[in-house]
């Protein structure tokens, strides 16, 4: 699964006692690593470095869902999730809820 996390500059430069909102929550959930610094151009576009695209298997035309996390009323992290993986992730999250709803209705 390709997951790219972007964090606001102040989240990276001003350490606090609170954990970052995009920090993995469970053991074995993976880790974030600073891969490169990118800039946003005047059209709002960023370039993902070639080596990161290659390691993540990102090709022209790939589709990603953009997911944001908020902390204290401001977006602190942005992640990109492959659209192909999104359906499986949502199903995995909602399946237990749906099972509980169906069990309660019988």
Domains present along the chain, CATH in parentheses? 3-105 (2.10.260.10)
Cα 95 from Cα 89, distance rounded (Å):
10
The one-digit pLDDT tens for each residue of the chain (106 residues) are 445 555 454 544 443 444 545 555 555 556 677 888 999 999 999 999 999 999 989 999 999 988 888 889 998 888 888 888 887 777 777 777 778 888 887 7
What's this model's pTM, rounded to 2 decimal places?
A: 0.56
Contact 105, 31 (CB under 8 A): no
């Amino acid at each position: 699964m390709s997951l790219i996390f972007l964090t606001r500059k102040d989240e990276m430069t001003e350490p606090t006692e609170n954990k970052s909102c995009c920090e993995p929550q469970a053991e074995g959930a993976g880790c974030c690593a600073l891969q490169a610094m990118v800039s946003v151009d005047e059209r709002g576009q960023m370039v993902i470095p070639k080596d990161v695209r290659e390691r993540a298997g990102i090709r022209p035309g790939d589709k990603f869902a953009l997911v944001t996390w908020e902390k204290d009323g401001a977006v602190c992290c942005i992640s990109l999730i492959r659209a192909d993986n999104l359906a499986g992730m949502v199903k995995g999250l909602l399946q237990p809820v749906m099972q509980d709803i169906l069990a309660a209705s019988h």
